[in-house]
Chains A and B, each alone.
Chain A
Amino acid sequence: QSALTQPPSVSGSPGQSVTISCTGTSSDVGSYNRVSWYQQPPGTAPKVMIYEVSNRPSGVPDRFSGSRSGNTASLTISGLQAEDEADYYCSSYASSSTFVVFGGGTKLSVL
């Protein structure tokens, strides 16, 4: 069982927007600005899409945005494209010993 809770799946049509939630606790997501989101197409390594709650690394389209409210972080993908179809994982700093914890993943289907 993963430390952070994500919906197993979300879907949307091309051009639409979808939001993926990531629920933690006041000991991780709710306490630190160290929430990240990763995209993982099948058979590939994860790729960071958002770091520190809402920052995008260079090269990530601005269609991807992150936010947080209380113990829940969210990833929003606007203007859905077929290439966005992948598994998405959130992560958060938890403690110096645990380092980071991950969510169980959300499969995004672009219909």
Chain B
Amino acid sequence: QVQLVQSGAEVRKPGASVKVSCKASGYTFTAYYLHWVRQAPGQGPEWMAWINPNSGGTNYAQKFQGRVTMTRDTSISTAYMELSGLRSDDTAVYYCARDADDYGDFSYYFDYWGQGTLVTVSS
């Protein structure tokens, strides 16, 4: 069965960086785009970025450009999201989510999600 398993909760000080991992199993890792979506406490989700695990190509929301970096390691079917220059309003649960389309295109919805990683930014 398809699974996305994320790394554990992190606490960082303002200005620091955090790197979250997302290990995929149960499907061909390189066949589906992976996205990162975050959800601040009591808020709706917010799309951040996608990565093409096959080519390594990425696209970042303008809001996060210059602060977010997505990478992947195909040998271990794992994607990573690194966010730098952390601020208190970056405190949120960060999810990796699989795009539902497997033909190298986008479906614009997410059929499998990781369990989420709470990132807390506090001095």
B-binding residues in A (CB < 8 A): 2, 4, 32, 34, 36, 38, 45-48, 51-52, 57, 89, 91, 93, 96-105
Contacts and interface: CB of A to CB of B under 8 A. Distances in A.
Contacts, number: 61
Interface string B38-73: 000001111100100000000101100000000000
Contact of A36 (B35, B44, B109, B115): B109
Contacts of B44: 2, 4, 89, 102-105
Nearest to A89: B44
B88 interface: no
Contacts of B50: 99
B95 interface: yes
B25 interface: no
Nearest to A100: B47
A42 to B, nearest CB: 12
The bracket for how many chain B residues form the interface is 20 to 34
Interface of B: 35, 43-47, 50, 59, 61-62, 95, 100, 106-111, 113-116
Contacts of B110: 46, 48
Contacts of B111: 48, 57
A5 B115 CA distance: 26
Contacts of A91: 45, 108-109
B47 A89 contact: no
Nearest to B46: A102
A52 B101 CA distance: 12
A91 B115 CA distance: 20
